[in-house]
Amino acid sequence: MEIPIPFGVFPTSLKGAALKWYTQLPAKSIDSFGTLVSRFTAQYAMSRPHHITSAALASLRQSGDEPLRTFMERFASLSVKIRNLNPEVALHSMLMALKSGPFVESLCRRPPPNMDELRARAAGYIQMEEHAEFRKAIRDKP
């Protein structure tokens, strides 16, 4: 059987593990380009990047000893990966993910209208946390 053009060109686009997989296919196990596509897709389907949805924010939580700055950076890092994230969903997710404390209490007393306001208010609490940590380090210094 004569090898069709796609079979002849296809291996030249492969390298590493994909090339090894292709060269180890049993002889005559690929009868058409469609079969090759199906086998290749089945082999490497798990390697495809997964789209992150807003549901990923639901499991996000600020840990008890996690500084607000670290959590805000972690939240931002995840939320920028979510396509078309609804601002209200982001705001609600942030409010639910924060640990209890003075910052959350202030948000409960005066809920922020949007994420920009929440971030601006968080900046003040981040400064207070970091200042308190700095003072503690100075005080505990031998």
Burial 101-140 (b: 16+ CB within 10 A, else e): eebeeebeeeebeebeebeeebeebbeebeeeeeeeeeee
Full-prediction pTM beyond 0.75?
A: no
Domain match, 129 and 85 both = yes
Tell me how many domains the chain contains. 2
Residues 76 and 136 in one domain: yes
- Print the domain residue range for 24: 5-47
Residues 108 and 136 in one domain: yes
24 and 63 assigned to the same domain: no
pLDDT of residue 33: 76
The reported pLDDT for the residue numbered 5 is 43
Instruction: Determine which helix (DSSP H) or strand (DSSP E) holds 73, and give its type and residue range.
Output: helix 68-79
Divide the 142 residues of the chain into consecutive groups of 10 and give the mean pLDDT of each group: 53 76 78 78 64 86 94 91 88 94 94 92 94 90 76
At residue 48, the pLDDT reads 55
pLDDT in the model for residue 2: 46
